[in-house]
Amino acid sequence: METQRQKKIGGIIQQDIAEVLQRAATEGGLKGVLISVTKVSITTDLSIAKIYVSIFPPKEANVLLDGIRSNKALIKHELAQRTKNQLRRVPELHFYLDDSLDYIEKIEESLKGEENPIEKRDLLDKRKKS
């Protein structure tokens, strides 16, 4: 169960990280790429932030996620500048790909098609627990 403080810090980080990532993508010359932060969860000691990003188009997702992870220090610094009046310490940032939209899309496609994923469960990939 998240405390009110964890939720508040998560909300602040979510908004600022989304702006930082989208601006970096635009300035990096990536036209038509949309990066959104779908969820941020903070550990109870406020030291680690798990950031789930959704990237459109999905075929670019893994390459962009690697780029985001390799620039983690820069992103953390930018976040520190933006939140210096709200946060004393910026938590360590861990980025994960949010594939829930892809998963939902696969379910919808399967339901429209001949094969029914409810009867044949092996049609859909197993979801990774996060």
Strand positions, DSSP E, the chain: 34-42, 48-56, 92-97
Asked if residue 23 lies in contact with residue 75, where contact means CB atoms within 8 angstroms, the answer is no
The pLDDT score that the predictor gives to residue 60 is: 80
Res 114: pLDDT: 64
Which pLDDT does position 49 carry in this prediction? 96
Residue 40 pLDDT: 95
**What pLDDT shows up at residue 38?**
93
Pick the CATH number of 4-98 from 3.90.650.10, 3.20.20.70, 3.30.565.10, 3.30.300.20: 3.30.300.20
DSSP 129: P
Q: Look at residues 37, 36, 40 and name the one whose alpha carbon lies nearest to residue 2.
A: 40
Q: State the pLDDT at residue 24.
A: 87
Name the one residue in this structure whose structure tokens are 């990066």: 35
For position 121, what pLDDT does the model report? 66
Under DSSP, is residue 16 helix (H, G, I), strand (E, B) or coil?
helix
β-bridge pairing 48-56 and 92-97: parallel
Domain boundaries defined on the chain: 4-98, 100-130
Residues of the chain with pLDDT under 50: none
